[in-house]
Structure 1
Amino acid sequence: MTGNHLAVEGLTVSAGARHLVRDVSLTAEPGEVIGLVGPNGSGKSSLLRAVYRVLRPDAGHIRVDGTDVRSLPVRRLARTMAVVVQEPGAAFDLTVRDVVAMGRTPHKRLLDGDTAEDARLVESSLASVDAVGLADRSFDRLSGGERQRVLIARALTQQPSLLVLDEPTNHLDVRHQLEVLGVLRRLPATVLVALHDLNLAAYYCDRLYVLRDGEVATAGPPREVLTPRLLSEVYGVAGEVVVHPRTGAPHVTFLPGDVSPEADRVC
């Protein structure tokens, strides 16, 4: 499993007369973790839905290794791209192990059975998200956070070269947020992930694209992007940004409305 090059070129997506995404371009180099951040309604989920072909763009292209994703056969796309959505929809009346094993489907022919390698990948993916103890439980009886970890394990079992995730840390406690993002950071795959938590994005992402009202407000390495001015202009809040002494990553602290930041800079 190696990463793909992803290129989003001049993408516009509309709902009626309203632009959900307007003229957005981004790139992800093979093996990079690219973070989408921005306020609610800024277009993060709409952009991701266009990437994984749920929404049809009004204009622009999405290319994986130079090929437009809309031209890829479904089976080839499923071998290339795995997706973890924010709301998984209906529950499965299956065990967790069976749900995770579904990630092997794109790699099989009709009527192929599971192999020893399939079983190894399933167990490895469950271990990656601390879900081995859930393997024999019914998926539809899990908590929201447990389901999220299982769906990430299913995506890992798919062995994608491009992984697209919409708020994968939703419903997860702090420990599992760190574990899941650590797994994504170590993958050889290219990762495009929408995140709300700016500090997690700053630590785990190579580059950030900040969306505002469906457009890219700014983009670049976290240390260049995350500034008090950005917090004010994009999020409408006061904040301070310092370099964390242990991680070396930018660390954002939001300030109450009656407290003013000391300076508009990264310390």
Structure 2
Amino acid sequence: MSPEPTPLIELAGVGKHYGPVRALDGVDLDVRAGQITCVLGDNGAGKSTLIKIIAGLHGHDAGTLRIDGEERRLGSPREALDLGIATVYQDLAVVPLMPVWRNFFLGSEPTTGRGPFRRLDTAAMRETTRSALLRMGIDLRDVDQPIGTLSGGERQCVAIARAVHFGAKVLVLDEPTAALGVKQSGVVLKYVAAARDAGLGVVLITHNPHHAYLVGDRFVLLKRGAMAASHTRDAVTLDELTTQMAGGSELDDLRHELARDPGK
């Protein structure tokens, strides 16, 4: 039996403090190629802090962060991106009035010509955007339309396709279905699975256990900055995951408190 490949990203006992406030403490996380690791938790659970550490926005105070088996301390988002870690935030950071193809290449625009005759290669950007989206199964009506005219689900899918096209090895998605309806959420999850099938290691941050269980291979539950549970898919059911996410015994206590007294 061959040994399991080295994780693309490995966190061991990682913690982060902001003065006296413990935002994250003792978190373990593996991100592997061709797998989706879901990080679940309510508001204030530490999900945003975890994203910032992986994305290079904030350094960790404790524990170890390894990328491709090498211990690192990321100093900036650019450093993370250069190492193949692409983060898609909930607000997407797009320019709504710009066409889809301009947003697709934003910050990485190819040029043609030399010297004073150098200019943006708009034809190449249009064609590359169209073909890159089609490879992910995304068939937009027109890549010249402003990206702000797309639905929230379509914008998320463009961001995922962009990360795949620019060679990301790890894709971190911050609550990609939080503001979407059922149908659009399903579309986004389909492209999250497509990124996994393209060989990327995906970190899906969510508070929705149903969405997580549809696509996830591994599940990490955070509560008040600490790990509440960690499971592989074959070791937990959706009901168990939902119960743990909801607080388990805390939910039972609340149910008893809210129950009506039949004698009244």
SS in 2 for 1:11: strand
Report the equivalent of 1:166.
174
1:128-167 pair list within 5 angstroms? 128=136, 130=138, 132-167=140-175
The count of aligned residue pairs is 239
Quickly say closer, same or farther: Cα 1:54–1:211, change in 2 above 3 A.
Answer: same
209-218 or 96-105, larger mean C-alpha shift: 96-105
Q: Deviations over 1:232-254 (max 9, x none)?
A: 5369436xxxxxxxxxxxxxxxx
Which stretches in structure 2 are left out of the alignment for 5+ residues? 1-5, 253-257
- Paired residues for 1:183-262 under 5 Å: 183-185=191-193, 186-225=197-236, 226=238, 227=240, 230-231=244-245, 233=247, 236-237=250-251
Question: What is the 5 A alignment of 1:1-267?
Answer: 5-67=8-70, 68=72, 70=74, 74=78, 77-78=81-82, 80-89=84-93, 91-102=95-106, 121-127=128-134, 128=136, 130=138, 132-185=140-193, 186-225=197-236, 226=238, 227=240, 230-231=244-245, 233=247, 236-237=250-251
1:72 shift after superposition: 8.6
Aligned CA distance change for structure 1 residues 150 and 258 (closer, same or farther; 3 Å): farther
Q: Which stretch shows the higher mean deviation, 172-181 or 40-49?
A: 172-181
Q: String of CA shifts for 1:207-265, please: whole Å, max 9, x gaps.
A: 10011111111111245345175245369436xxxxxxxxxxxxxxxxxx659xxxxxx
**C-alpha spacing 1:189/1:92, structure 2 compared with 1 (3 Å):** same
Secondary structure of 1:102 counterpart: coil
Distance 1:41 1:144, change over 3 A: same
Considering only CA atoms, is the larger Rg found in Structure 1 or Structure 2?
2
Answer whether contact 1:5 1:65 (CA < 8 A) is retained. yes
Contact 2:37-2:202 at 8 Å conserved across structures: yes
CA–CA distance in 1 between the matches of 2:198 and 2:119?
27
Code of the residue aligned with 1:210 in structure 2: it is: L
C-alpha distance in structure 2 between counterparts of 1:4 and 1:224, whole Å? 20
Shift of 1:65: 0.1
**Quick one: distance in 1 between partners of 2:83 and 2:74?**
15
Distance 2:249 2:121 in 1: 48
Counterpart CA distance in 1 for 2:77 and 2:177 is 30
Instruction: Please report how far the alpha carbon of residue 7 of structure 1 lies from its aligned counterpart in structure 2 after TM superposition.
Output: 0.3
Q: Cα distance, 1:117 vs. partner?
A: 8.0
- CA RMSD in angstroms comes to 3.7
- TM-score when scaled to structure 2? 0.74
Matches of 1:126 and 1:31, distance apart in 2: 20
Deviation per residue, 1:24-66 (Å, 9 max, x gap): 1111222211000112211112101110011222222322102
Return the letter of the residue paired with 1:135.
V
Please give the secondary structure, in 1, of the residue aligned with 2:247. Answer: helix
Could you tell me how far apart the structure 2 residues matched to 1:148 and 1:84 are? 8
> TM (normalized to structure 1)?
0.73
> Does the 8 Å CA contact 1:12/1:57 hold for their aligned counterparts?
yes
Which is further off, 111-120 or 49-58?
A: 111-120
Are 1:95 and 1:138, in contact at CA under 8 Å, matched by a contact in 2? yes
